[in-house]
Amino acid sequence: MDRSLVFLSVTASYSHTNLAAWTLRAGVEAAGWQWCEVEVTQNESLPVTLNRVARLHPTVLAASFYLFNRSFLISFLSRFKKLFPDCRVLGGGPEFLGDNRAFLERHPEVDAVIRGEGEKAFGQWLQLMDQPKQQAGIPGFCGLVDGRYVDNGMAEVVERLDDIPSPYPKHMEGFRKPFVLLETSRGCSNRCAFCTSGVGGVGRWFSLERSSPLERSSPLERSSSLERVRRDVQLIRAQGVPEVRLVDRTFNARPARCLALLRFFRDECKPLRFHLEIDPARLTPSFIAELAQAEPGRFHLEVGIQSLNPEVIRTIGRQGTVRRALAGLRSLCAHRQLATHVDLIAGLPGGTLADLFAELRTLVLLSPNEIQLELLKLLPGTRLAAEKDRWQIVAAPEPPYEVLRTATMTMADLETARGLSNLVDWFYNVPELQALMVTATRRIPGFWKELILFGGSMAFAVAASSLENRFRLLDDFFRDRDLDLRHALHYAWLKHGFSAQHGICRAFPWKGPIPESAVLVEGQAVARPARVFRADLDRSYLFAYARERLAAAVYRLEA
């Protein structure tokens, strides 16, 4: 029998890689199969992808299904199976963590799927590929056998992650993408009801850390040895990859281990940058002290807040308290050399629109580098998906499974939350406007609620308006509300090099030299600036520009 296997990796963008494919390759090759990965993005042409795979004439085609690539894969496989009806198709991924019966009955182009970690189940399935009745005994197997649906629960986990051969020796040579993924632990001790990480192991191909809603045991969090992590990172660093993103769900879950890794990343892996997911409620003074010694830009921290309502936190089963989470986040934000990204979720059980506005205000005033506000997604296999009726949650039945209504948030409330998510991304997460948004939030108690009402349809647009138009909207918004904020907006407009003569404020060319009495406010003095403009705001300023758009220096003119 021909033993050629194609793993079709459909990624979100060119910058991403499918770590699952890398991890599974060694086991497939050890079983005597010829491995080939075909990597495409979710926006790739279907005919082009079909031709790439068809030229390989695989015996088996495997693919990992995520909410972002499910539609692409179904469209691809419906075509592929018409051309190659004898090729076996095996699926896995977080899309199959729930009940898979309806999917397999609706999509006969997929022969079987695995629920859970793939390293063991994949190899077992390959060995029994022509023995369907024996396949039914594989832990994690879901499929139709003689017309009868068989669901064999969760796949067997890999208890020692070091037993999985490192994927990096075979994949790093010639790697030129901006970042690479690294797994150093599986599972998550948090039991968040909305998250696939709530129970069980990562299983980067056939799951995202979560068991199905059925009552099945699930593995505890497991970690690679420090020696294994050290070897993998050194291989990555040797290839000049600029950034490593850990897929671990809670990097700081085990204090002693995370401190050792943090010191290694910081002191021995320059100039690599690291992206880490952090639970703020578990931050210790030692961890923060070690982070504080890092150079600017070395660590990008994704901080899961999710909600600041204590009752919501208890309902979803998240460990830690709101007070501890806020204290941890406040400590991180105080260190400006750290890039801090904060996650907030709208539509969790018990959460209200009023909560959301209050939570956003609290977070903005802490000034993290980025705030990501998203609507709840009712992901397959999660506890919330199984308990949706209990919490009166109505969600879309297809990806991205966004919540449509809850017991405490109406459709209109959630639509407002979606608009608010856009405004946060388009106004707060913009470096040119962020400081102003913090000040506005502090000075105007209901700022975000007023802004979404004032913005109207713009807040619900598919794409952001130009940055200049966002400045203009804020100019109209502040006009009759706060003169100081309007002056600050005009200052930011000129500082960032938008039109001085056709902009939102009056500015006049300055023909003479910079007066000796002028006080340098920010930037560096320019001996011979290309152009200088004077603007009378709260005070009179000179904006001096060199070749770049951004003002090289800003001076305050003394009266």
- 339 assigned to some structural domain: yes
Distances (CA, A) of 375 to 346, 361, 559: 5, 17, 51
State the amino acid at position 62 in one-letter form: A
* pLDDT bucket at 201, cuts 50 / 70 / 90: very low
Tell me what pLDDT residue 220 has.
61
Token pair of 353 as six digits: 């629109």
**For residues 10-28, average pLDDT:** 94
Shared domain check, 137 and 223: no
Say how far apart CA 341 and CA 275 lie, in whole Å.
Answer: 10
pLDDT for the residue 211:
33
Q: What is the pLDDT of residues 525-545, one digit of tens each?
A: 988 899 999 999 999 999 999
Measuring CA to CA, which residue among 310, 318, 280, 11 is closest to residue 195? 318
Mean pLDDT of the chain: 93
The answer for 175, left when phi > 0, alpha when psi is -120 to 50, beta otherwise, is beta
Model-wide pTM > 0.85: yes
Whether 267 and 413 map to the same domain: the answer is yes
pLDDT tier for residue 76 given thresholds of 50, 70 and 90 = very high
CA dist 133 and 252 (Å) reads 44
**115 with 171, same domain?**
no
432-443 residue pLDDT tens: 999 999 999 999
Q: Which of 417, 433, 465 is the last residue of a domain?
A: 417
Asked, for residue 304, whether it belongs to a domain, the answer is: yes
CA angle at 306 for the pair 363 and 404, rounded to the nearest 5°? 115
What is the average per-residue pLDDT within 206-215? 34
Instruction: State how far the alpha carbon of 474 is from the alpha carbons of 300, 443, 469, 501, in Å.
Output: 29, 15, 9, 19
CATH no. for residue 53? 3.40.50.280
Residue 17 above 90 pLDDT?
Answer: yes
344 and 485: one domain?
no
Residue 248: both structure tokens together: 């671990």
Predicted pLDDT at 430 = 97
Q: Once rounded to an integer, what is the mean pLDDT over residues 399-407? A: 97
| Res 218: pLDDT | 41
How far apart are the C-alpha atoms of 240 and 242, rounded to whole Å?
6
Single out the residue of 436, 399, 424, 247 nearest to residue 345, CA to CA.
424
User: Which tokens belong to 205?
Assistant: 């191909």
Closest CA to 382 of 140, 210, 205: 210
What's the confidence (pLDDT) of residue 217? 35
For residue range 505-515, what is the model confidence (pLDDT) as tens digits?
999 999 999 99
DSSP state of 387: T
48 occurs within a structural domain? yes
**377: closest CA among 202, 524, 195?**
195
- The letter for the amino acid at 123 is G
Rg of the chain's alpha carbons, rounded to an integer? 27
pLDDT at 74 over 60: yes
Q: What is the average pLDDT across 272-291? A: 96
Question: What is the DSSP code (8-state) at residue 340?
Answer: E
Is the pLDDT assigned to residue 214 strictly greater than 50?
Answer: no
CA angle 386, 390, 395 (to 5 degrees): 60
What mean pLDDT comes out for the span 190-201? Answer: 71
Q: What whole-number distance in Å separates Cα of residue 119 and Cα of residue 124?
A: 9
Q: Are residues 138 and 267 in the same domain?
A: no
Domain check: are 355 and 487 in the same one? no
* Cβ proximity of 448 and 360 under 8 Å: yes
Number of folded domains that form the chain: 3
Question: Does residue 441 form part of some domain?
Answer: no
Give CA–CA dist 159/221, Å, rounded: 9
Instruction: Please name the amino acid found at residue 545.
Output: Y
Is 518 a domain residue?
Answer: yes
Write out the two tokens for 202.
């990562």
Does the residue 467 lie in any domain?
Answer: no
User: What percent of the chain lies above the pLDDT cut of 90?
Assistant: 87
126 and 207 fall within a common domain: no
Q: What is the mean pLDDT of residues 337-346?
A: 97
pLDDT tens string 97-143: 999 999 999 999 999 999 999 999 999 999 998 888 888 899 999 99
Please write the tens of the pLDDT for every residue from 30-44.
889 999 999 999 999
Mean pLDDT of 256-282: 96
- Phi-psi region for residue 416, left (φ > 0), alpha (ψ -120 to 50) or beta? alpha
pLDDT of residue 202: 33
Report the alpha-carbon distance of residue 373 to residue 342 in Å, rounded: 8
* Residues contacting residue 496 through CB under 8 Å, at least 6 positions apart: 432, 549, 550, 551
User: Which residue, 417, 452, 471, sits at the end of a domain?
Assistant: 417
pLDDT for the residue numbered 42: 96
3-state secondary structure of 319: coil
Report the Cα–Cα distance between both ends of the chain, in Å, rounded.
89
Q: Say whether 85 sits in a helix, a strand or coil.
A: coil
Q: Are residues 50 and 11 in the same domain?
A: yes
- Per-residue HEC secondary structure of 135-178 comes to HCCCCCEEEEECCEEEECCCCCCCCCHHHCCCCHHHHCCCCCCC
> Do residue 248 and residue 322 come from a single domain?
yes
Residue 206 has pLDDT above 80, yes or no: no
Does an H or E element contain 208, and which? none
Q: Would 373 be classed as within a structural domain?
A: yes
Whether residue 210 is predicted with pLDDT greater than 70 in this model: the reply is: no
Half-sphere exposure (CA, 13 Å, Cβ side) for 295? 10
Report the pLDDT averaged over residues 219-226. Answer: 82
Question: d(Cα 532, Cα 504) in Å, to the nearest integer?
Answer: 17
Q: Per residue, what are the HEC states of 6-58?
A: EEEEEECCCCCCCHHHHHHHHHHHHCCCEEEEEEEECCCCHHHHHHHHHCCCC
Do 83 and 169 have their domain in common? no
Judge if 314 and 345 occupy the same domain: yes
Q: Considering 366, 401, 417, which residue would you say is the last residue of a domain?
A: 417
- In a shared domain, residues 58 and 122: yes
- Give the mean pLDDT of 251-258: 92
Range of the domain at 523: 479-556
Within a domain: 144: yes
Cis peptide before 85 (omega within 30 of 0): no
| 49 Cβ neighbours under 8 A, 6+ residues apart | 8, 38, 40, 76
